Amino acid sequence: MSALEPTGEALVPASIEPRPREPTPTRALMEFHSAIPRMIPRRLLAALTAALGESPAAVLLGPRQSGKTTLAHEVARTRPAVYLDLESEADRAKLSEPELYLSQHPDELVILGGIHRAPQLFRSLRGLAESVEAVSLVGLCEELAAA
């Protein structure tokens, strides 16, 4: 007979490890936001915040996994914001009519992750950033194609 140990959910034999819970999008987002206070302070946070105060748009350039999204989310914690991941077909579809989408998010920071995946948006966003009142844009790019 094997020993039983409590695991918080049920008694299982001591030699059997309980299965880890599958990550869910909500849990992953909660874990992401709970990690932000423990992050190394970002030197660019003040510069990005100042840039958005002076200009309706900013672009963060950097290689994969360099902290662009984390920095953008840190700025988003200070104001109403919406994040679109342009590697997602559903999020790219939301920008099929960029002017309409941006007009639906007045007074919000619109973060466009992976904007290099939709280079056709550069021409539209260039004019829209200045014409749609009270919208701020942050584009996250790994590389810039000639637009």
Q: 16-41 pLDDT, tens per residue?
A: 555 555 555 556 555 655 555 555 66
Q: How many domains does the chain have?
A: 1
Q: 45-82 pLDDT, tens per residue?
A: 888 888 888 888 888 888 888 888 988 988 888 889 99
Percentage, residues of the chain above pLDDT 70: 63
Q: How many angstroms separate the CA atoms of 136 and 129, rounded?
A: 7
**Once rounded to an integer, what is the mean pLDDT over residues 111-129?**
83
Residue 13 counted as domain residue = no
User: Closest Cα to residue 140, out of 36, 28, 44?
Assistant: 44
Residue 19 counted as domain residue = no
Residue 60, SS3 per DSSP: strand
Q: How many angstroms separate the CA atoms of 68 and 59, rounded?
A: 10
What's the mean per-residue pLDDT of the chain? 75
CB 2 within 8 A of CB 13: yes
pLDDT value, residue 14? 52
Higher-pLDDT residue of 41 and 124 is 124
Question: Which residues, in sequence order, are CB contacts of 130 under 8 Å at separation 6+?
Answer: 56
Residue 146 counted as domain residue = no
- The domain that holds 128 is classified in CATH as 3.40.50.300
Residue 88 counted as domain residue = yes
Residue 72 counted as domain residue = yes
Whether the model clears a pTM of 0.75, i.e. scores above it, the answer is no
Residues of the domain holding 133: 59-141
